[in-house]
Structure 1
Amino acid sequence: MTQAIEATGLVKDFGATRAVDGIDLSVPAGTIYGVLGPNGAGKTTTLRMLLGIIDPDAGHRTLLGESVPLRAAHLVGYLPEERGLYPAMTPREAIAFMGALRGLPLAEGRRRADDLLDAHDLGHAARKPIRTLSKGMAQTVQLLGTLVHRPRLIVLDEPFSGLDALNQGRLEALIRAQAADGVTVLFSTHVIAHAERLCERIAIIAGGRVRFEGAVEEARGRLRPQVRLGTRAADGAWCAALPAGTLLEGGVWRFELPDDGIEPLLKALIAGGAGIDTLSIERPGLHDAFVAIAGEAVARDMAKPAPAEVAA
C-alpha cells in the first residue's frame, strides 16, 4: 500500500451550509502530512469523514486500504480537536483505557502506559488524578493514549492548540519519532510554521475546497526567490539594470531573482559603480506560498487564534 488515505470529491452539507465542497486528498504511507486552513475551513469535517466518524454526502475515501474506514479503526490513533479525559482517572489507567477501545488488552495497555509515561518524563504522575495535572501534561497523556496500541496511522486535529512552546516542541519531536518508525501522521493546523517544520506534503483548504495539494517544496516553488541588495550609492545609471518591479525599502533594494540568475546583474552593478554592501537571496517560506495560493484574507484568518486558545 503506497497511499494511507485517498479521498475523491468529498462533500458534506450541514443544512443549507456546505462545509466541504469536493475535496480530493492523497496521503502517502509513512509521511507527515498537514492539512492547513483557517478555523471554519472544513478541516475537522474532512478528517471525520476520512476516519468514518461521519459519512460524506458525496465522494469516496479509503483508509489504510479499507473502503469502509471503520474497519481500519484498530489501526488508527485519533486525537480530536475537543480534548477530553476523565478527571478522576490516573494517566496510567486513561492510556490503558484508550488502548482497550482499540482492542488492546488492559494489562498490556497498563504496561505500555508505564513505558510511555516514563519515556515522556511523566512517570511521577502515572498514578495521580488527571485533574491535578497541568494542561500540557494532560494533553500529553491524551496523545499517548492515541499511540498506545501502536497504530499505523495517527490523525491529530489541531494538536498544538493551547500548548506552550516547550510542549509544542515535545509534540513535534514525538511526531517525527513516529514517522521515523514508518507511521503515517496526518494533522490539521491553522499555524503554518508547524507544517513548514514537519510536513513533507500538505493540503491547503479554504472555504471547504482544496486550494493546493502536494509537496511543501512544490508550494514554495510557486514563488521565485527574493533578492535583497544593499548599495553604497543611492542612485545612478546602474539603477536601469535592476529588474522591473524592484522596490526600495529602508535603503535596501528588493526584487525577484532574475530568470538568468544573479551574476549578469552583479556585473552590471559593479561596472556602474553601485558599490555592493550586502546581498542575500531568500527562498520564499510556506507562509509566502500560502498567501499566494489562498490569498491575504485567508492568511489573516489563519493568524487568528482558535476559540480554545482565546479561552486559554
Structure 2
Amino acid sequence: MNMATGEFTASASVSGELAIEARGLVKRFDGALAVDGVDISVPSGAIYGILGPNGAGKTTTLRMLLGIIDPDEGYRRVLGADDPQDVARKIGYLPEERGLYPSMKSYDAIAFMGALRGLPLETGRRRGKELMEQHGLGHAIDKQIRQLSKGMAQTVQLLGTLVHEPQLVVFDEPFSGLDAINQGKLEQLIRGLADKGTTVIFSTHVIAHAERLCEAIAIIAGGKVPYAGSVEEARDRIPAQVRLETRNPDGPWRAALPEATRRVGDYWYFPLPESGVEPLLKALIEGEAGIHSLSIERAGLHDAFVAIAGEAAARDMVKQDAGDSQ
C-alpha cells in the first residue's frame, strides 16, 4: 500500500486497473459532517470491505460512490466514469433497507430488478428462474414474495441484484439478518463472483466476514478513514504475540522475557521481539526454562481494528453484531 495515498494494489487484479477510485469525499447533512475526506481505491476483481459501526459513514460513502447522492467535496471515478450514473447498468446494488413488491412472483421480482438496469424482461425472467434453481429456490419460482420466508425473500432480492451480470457489485450490510447457514452461502456467492472477475465491495460491522473474504479493506470511524489497504498490512500493524509455556516456573530465564510480558494461567504472552525468536530461544534454553511449548500468533483483524479505530468503535461493532443475532 502507498501510505501517502492509501492506495492498495491487489495481486488478484491482473490488469492493475481500479474499479473505484475516490479522493477527499465529504458529505454534510443539515450542516452536520457525515463523511469527512474519505479516500478509497478498489482494484478490479477484488473483494473489498468497508468496516465500521452504524453511524460511521459507510452507507453514505457507498451512496456517493454509486451516484445516488453527490459529495459536497471530493472526486470519485467508477468503472472508468466520472459520473457513476453513466455506468449504472454495469453495477449491482443491494441496499441495507430491503424491499420487494409483495404481490410479485419471485422470478418476476428478479426480472423487474434486472429491467431497472437495462436487462430485457424476458431475459430477466429466464435468468431469474435459472438463478432460483441454482440457489435452491426452484420450488418457490411461482410463489409471490409475500409467500416466502424472510431468508428466501432476501435471497430473491440478492439474485435480482446479480441478474444483469454486473461488473461491480455493491452490498450494504449484506449479512445483516441472515442466519449462519445463509451467511455461509452468501460468502460462497461472493467468492464465486470474484472468481469470475466481478469486483465486489461490501460494508459490514462484522469483522469476521471481512477477514475471511477480503483482500483489502477501508476502516471508517466518525466519517473518516484512518486505514485503507490490505488485510495483511492491517494485521501487521500489531506485532505478533509469543505464547510460552515452561516447565520451570522461575529462574534466570525470566530476565529474557520482555517488559510487556503478561501471564495468563500456565502461559506467558509477550510481543515478538524485533530481534526475532532465535535469541530469545537461546536465552530461555541457557536459563533452563524447560520450554514445554512456544508458539507465535499473528494478530487478527479484530485486534488491528481496535488498534486503528479505537476500543469504542470496536465495542459498538460487537453490540450491533449481538443485536443482529437476537
| TM-score of the two chains, using structure 2 as the length reference | 0.93
Q: Report the alpha carbon displacement of residue 286 of structure 1 after superposing the two structures with TM.
A: 0.4
Matched, 1:192 2:207: yes
**Which residue in 2 is equivalent to 1:10?**
25
CA RMSD of aligned residues (A): 1.3
C-alpha separation in 2, matches of 1:305 and 1:88: 32
Deviations 1:1-31 (A, max 9, x none): 7011111111100013110011111111110
**Which residue in 1 is equivalent to 2:121?**
106
Residue 13 of structure 1 aligns to which amino acid in structure 2? R
Q: Aligned in 2, Cα 1:5/1:164: closer, same or farther, shift over 3 Å?
A: same
**Which residue in 2 is equivalent to 1:268?**
283
**Which residue in 1 is equivalent to 2:217?**
202
Matched, 1:129 2:136: no
C-alpha separation in 2, matches of 1:155 and 1:143: 11
**Which residue in 1 is equivalent to 2:265?**
250
Residue 145 of structure 2 aligns to which amino acid in structure 1? I
Deviations 1:157-195 (A, max 9, x none): 000001000000000000000000000000000000000
**Which residue in 1 is equivalent to 2:233?**
218
The counterpart of 2:82, out of the listed 67, 88, 113, is 67
**Which residue in 2 is equivalent to 1:36?**
51
Matched, 1:26 2:80: no
Runs (4+) of structure 1 moved beyond 2 Å?
A: 306-310
Matched, 1:147 2:168: no
The counterpart of 2:247, out of the listed 220, 227, 232, is 232
Deviations 1:47-85 (A, max 9, x none): 000000001111111111111111110000000010001
Conservation of the 8 A alpha-carbon contact between 2:206 and 2:321: no
C-alpha separation in 1, matches of 2:238 and 2:323: 34
Deviations 1:121-172 (A, max 9, x none): 1011011111121211111110000000000000000000010000000000
2:208 is paired with a residue of what secondary structure? helix
Q: Report the alpha carbon displacement of residue 308 of structure 1 after superposing the two structures with TM.
A: 7.9
Q: Report the alpha carbon displacement of residue 108 of structure 1 after superposing the two structures with TM.
A: 0.5
2:174 is paired with a residue of what secondary structure? coil
- Contiguous gaps of at least 5 residues in structure 1: none
1:230 is paired with a residue of what secondary structure? strand
1:89 is paired with a residue of what secondary structure? coil
Tell me which moved more, 229-238 or 170-179.
Answer: 229-238
Conservation of the 8 A alpha-carbon contact between 1:161 and 1:308: no
Alignment of 1:274-289 (within 5 A): 274-289=289-304
Residue 101 of structure 1 aligns to which amino acid in structure 2? L
* Count of matched residue positions in the alignment of Structure 1 and Structure 2: 311
Matched, 1:91 2:125: no
Conservation of the 8 A alpha-carbon contact between 1:31 and 1:179: yes
Deviations 1:90-129 (A, max 9, x none): 2101000100111111111011011100110101101111
1:304 is paired with a residue of what secondary structure? helix
Q: Report the alpha carbon displacement of residue 271 of structure 1 after superposing the two structures with TM.
A: 1.8
Q: Aligned in 2, Cα 1:91/1:309: closer, same or farther, shift over 3 Å?
A: same
Residue 188 of structure 1 aligns to which amino acid in structure 2? S
Alignment of 1:161-172 (within 5 A): 161-172=176-187
Q: Report the alpha carbon displacement of residue 301 of structure 1 after superposing the two structures with TM.
A: 1.0
1:56 is paired with a residue of what secondary structure? coil
Conservation of the 8 A alpha-carbon contact between 1:21 and 1:209: yes
The counterpart of 1:292, out of the listed 307, 319, 322, is 307
Tell me which moved more, 187-196 or 240-249.
Answer: 240-249
**Which residue in 2 is equivalent to 1:160?**
175
Residue 46 of structure 1 aligns to which amino acid in structure 2? T
| TM-score of the two chains, using structure 1 as the length reference | 0.97
Residue 266 of structure 1 aligns to which amino acid in structure 2? L
